A and B are shown apart, each in its own frame.
Chain A
Amino acid sequence: MRRRPLFWFFVYLALSLLAVFYLVPIYVLVVNALKDYREVSVEAMWRLPEHLSLASFAKAWFGDPGTGMTGLGQNFMNSVKLVVPAVFLSVLLGSINGYVLAQWRFRGSETLFFLLLFGMFIPYQSILIPLVKVLMALHLYGTIPGLVLTHVVYGIPITTLIFRNYYAQIPRELVDAAQIDGAAVMGVYRYVILPLSAPGTVVAVIWQFTQIWNDFLFGVVITNKPDVQPITVALNNLAGSFIVEWNVQMAGALLAALPTLLVYVLMGRYFIRGLLAGSVKG
């Protein structure tokens, strides 16, 4: 259809207004995080910094021994230590489950899949109390391995879903041919499925990375001591304290957002695929 210039004018106008709406909070975070503490004031929130200063980032990361404020650096590293094994394990389990559910359907496998998927939608409040008790009994309460276990278990539904939908596109003939060549269940996985898994794995890794990095509920319930808390929990404590200047809070928020934001900007296409997979029908 041919469009008139006026049509395009209004399209761009509307798109730009939307872009402003989505960028305003980011603008506020960046502009104020870059200000020197002398420049920060409630009235000057929208103004650009006169002098660029990274002091608030340094303070947010290292803390301030003078006021007893602990920095987010340690918590950032906690989140790294949490995310790496949790993503690896939940993606591995999801890949195996997805393979079985896509290529080796058996009687009742659809029902099992349904029961698995439901685990993705439950309000986690309904499992928190037993979870804390079990983690305490296993001496994992208040530890990063305890958080890893939790994220692996509750990540199984979504990673299974992503891989099942992905592997369902692999033609059955490939699997049959490998079997004729003598490959069994694990052989098919190793020689047919795994080499084709890269795109699905990227989607699952990015999705799990974002979810686990951004999680707050499990972190706040399972880790009670500041030195093991993930960054979201520490950021929330920082933001709730009245002694911390708000330019430092904003710098802290940007530090907490940086890893997922970076992944999103570089690999947005895969992120959106994970997003769409979450609505079940991929």
Chain B
Amino acid sequence: MRRYRRVAFLLLAPSLVLVALFVYGFILWTGWLSLTNQNDLFVPHVRFVGLANYLRLFHHPRFLIDLKNTLTFSLIFIPGSLVLGLVGALLLNTGVRGEGFFRTVFLMPMALSFIVTGVAWRWLMNPSSGLNLLFSALGLGFLKSGWYTDPAVGIKAVALAAVWQLSGYTMALYLAGLRAIPPVFYEAAEVDGASPWQAFRYITLPLLTPVTLSAVIVLGHISLKIFDLVIAIAGISGGPAFSSDVPALFMFVTTFQANRFAQGAAISIVLLVLVSFLVIPYLYWSLRREVAE
């Protein structure tokens, strides 16, 4: 048996080596880079500069806008996807005919790339076309907006497209969660004279809490990493007055256009730390729960 386990471990080795190098090794490398002065294509004397790149970052107006934009994005994207996902899942779970058709339509955006979504939404949110035309025709002129071209809207427009694309994810999660609730719970509630609202409030919602938690973590980490969609809708400049800019885009431009590698590394480490705060407890919790079962 011991010998077998050694063989098994050897089978795992190639992947472990690759991940150790490409994930953990590279993160350490980036971390080191962020503490140096390599802010040009060629730096004759590479020096350790401590937290200088980080300090500069937290006084950088663009980075502060990015953090605020990330927050704004999350506050629309996460609740939007949760509500739409839950409503869709509840509707699909009523046992309607044609459920398969509707489910296929609702989750379809998940199969598209952010770039394709971006092309469609950029035209839908073109100020002189798309949704604005539709709103005028429907007598809803007050809904007209400059969308991503208006600095006051900016990232909120991108968040709308993100809800369109990813609410199917929460819908799939909630649908699986709903299907896992034993029907006897509802039968018992009905016997006890509970109204449908009470059944929803005291059975469905509490039993969906773990699903909601998973969804919030996954959507939250997507909010921190959002990049493709911003480029595809607002362009690489991040929209007027950086109104759609996000840390991932700032990192990309800083590193690969301005060649300020150490500064770019610092941005990416900040992103990594933020994502870790969200993901590590979650991973720990889900693996624990799995062992306990």
Q: A-side interface residues toward B, CB under 8 Å?
A: 1, 3, 8, 11-12, 14-15, 18-19, 21-26, 28-29, 32, 42-43, 45-46, 93, 96-97, 99-101, 104, 106, 110, 112-119, 121-131, 134, 153-154, 156-157, 160, 184-186, 210, 213-217, 221, 232, 235-236, 239-240, 246, 249-250, 252-254, 256-257, 260-261, 263-265, 268, 271-272, 275-276, 278-281
B154 within 8 A of A: no
9 residue pairs A–B, Cβ–Cβ below 8 Å: A8-B96, A28-B123, A97-B11, A118-B280, A121-B279, A127-B30, A216-B115, A239-B232, A275-B169
B74 within 8 A of A: no
Other-chain residue from A19, A126, A261 in contact with B268 (beta carbon distance below 8 A):
A126
B45 within 8 A of A: no
B105 within 8 A of A: yes
Provide the residues of chain B in CB contact with A43, threshold 8 Å: 129, 133
Apart from A101-B12, A131-B22, A221-B252, what are 6 other A-B pairs with CB-CB below 8 Å? Answer: A11-B91, A15-B98, A32-B123, A214-B116, A216-B227, A257-B112
- Say yes or no: A250-B123 contact (C-beta < 8 A), given A93-B15, A232-B113: yes
Q: Measured between alpha carbons, how far is A210 from B168 in the docked complex, in Å?
A: 15
Chain A nearest CB, measured from B220 CB (Å): 11
B40 within 8 A of A: no
Check if A11 sits within 8 Å of B94, measured CB to CB.
Answer: yes
Check if A123 sits within 8 Å of B224, measured CB to CB.
Answer: yes
Check if B107 sits within 8 Å of A125, measured CB to CB.
Answer: no
Check if A131 sits within 8 Å of B26, measured CB to CB.
Answer: yes
Provide the residues of chain B in CB contact with A97, threshold 8 Å: 11-12, 15
Other-chain residue from A110, A126, A272 in contact with B287 (beta carbon distance below 8 A):
A110
Query: Which B235-266 residues sit within 8 Å CB-CB of chain A?
Result: 235-236, 248, 251-252, 255-256, 261, 264-265
Other-chain residue from A8, A254, A276 in contact with B172 (beta carbon distance below 8 A):
A276
* List of 3 A-B pairs having minimum Cβ-Cβ separation, nearest first: A214-B113, A264-B111, A104-B8
Check if B112 sits within 8 Å of A260, measured CB to CB.
Answer: yes
- Say yes or no: A116-B15 contact (C-beta < 8 A), given A110-B291, A260-B111: yes
Nearest neighbor of A240 in chain B, beta-carbon distance:
B235
Chain A nearest CB, measured from B189 CB (Å): 11
Check if A221 sits within 8 Å of B256, measured CB to CB.
Answer: yes
Provide the residues of chain A in CB contact with B8, threshold 8 Å: 100, 104, 106, 185
Check if A186 sits within 8 Å of B261, measured CB to CB.
Answer: no
Provide the residues of chain B in CB contact with A276, threshold 8 Å: 172-173, 176
Provide the residues of chain A in CB contact with B59, threshold 8 Å: none
Check if B108 sits within 8 Å of A261, measured CB to CB.
Answer: yes
- Say yes or no: A125-B248 contact (C-beta < 8 A), given A217-B227, A232-B113, A276-B172: yes
B271 within 8 A of A: yes
Check if B268 sits within 8 Å of A125, measured CB to CB.
Answer: yes
- Say yes or no: A114-B284 contact (C-beta < 8 A), given A125-B271, A156-B19, A250-B123: yes
CB-based A-B contact count at 8 angstroms: 268
Check if A115 sits within 8 Å of B111, measured CB to CB.
Answer: no
- Say yes or no: A126-B214 contact (C-beta < 8 A), given A28-B130, A42-B129, A100-B9: no
Q: Contact string, B38-60, partner A, CB cutoff 8 A, digits 1/0?
A: 00000000000000000000000
Q: Measured between alpha carbons, how far is A203 from B184 in the docked complex, in Å?
A: 32
Other-chain residue from A117, A126, A271, A278 in contact with B30 (beta carbon distance below 8 A):
A126
Check if A122 sits within 8 Å of B275, measured CB to CB.
Answer: yes
Provide the residues of chain B in CB contact with A12, threshold 8 Å: 96
Check if B102 sits within 8 Å of A156, measured CB to CB.
Answer: no
Check if A160 sits within 8 Å of B214, measured CB to CB.
Answer: no
Chain B nearest CB, measured from A210 CB (Å): 6
Provide the residues of chain B in CB contact with A123, threshold 8 Å: 224-225, 248, 268, 271-272, 275
Check if A18 sits within 8 Å of B22, measured CB to CB.
Answer: no
Chain B nearest CB, measured from A8 CB (Å): 7
Check if A46 sits within 8 Å of B173, measured CB to CB.
Answer: no
Check if B16 sits within 8 Å of A236, measured CB to CB.
Answer: no
Chain A nearest CB, measured from B54 CB (Å): 14
Nearest neighbor of B112 in chain A, beta-carbon distance:
A257
Q: Measured between alpha carbons, how far is A221 from B113 in the docked complex, in Å?
A: 17
Q: Measured between alpha carbons, how far is A119 from B280 in the docked complex, in Å?
A: 11
Query: Which B45-94 residues sit within 8 Å CB-CB of chain A?
Result: 84, 87-88, 91-92, 94
B120 within 8 A of A: yes
Other-chain residue from A19, A113, A250, A264 in contact with B119 (beta carbon distance below 8 A):
A250
Counting chain A CB atoms within 10 Å of each CB, the highest count among B103, B113, B251, B264 belongs to B113
Q: Contact string, B170-193, partner A, CB cutoff 8 A, digits 1/0?
A: 001100100000000010001000
Check if B271 sits within 8 Å of A130, measured CB to CB.
Answer: no
Provide the residues of chain A in CB contact with B122, threshold 8 Å: 239
Chain A nearest CB, measured from B248 CB (Å): 6
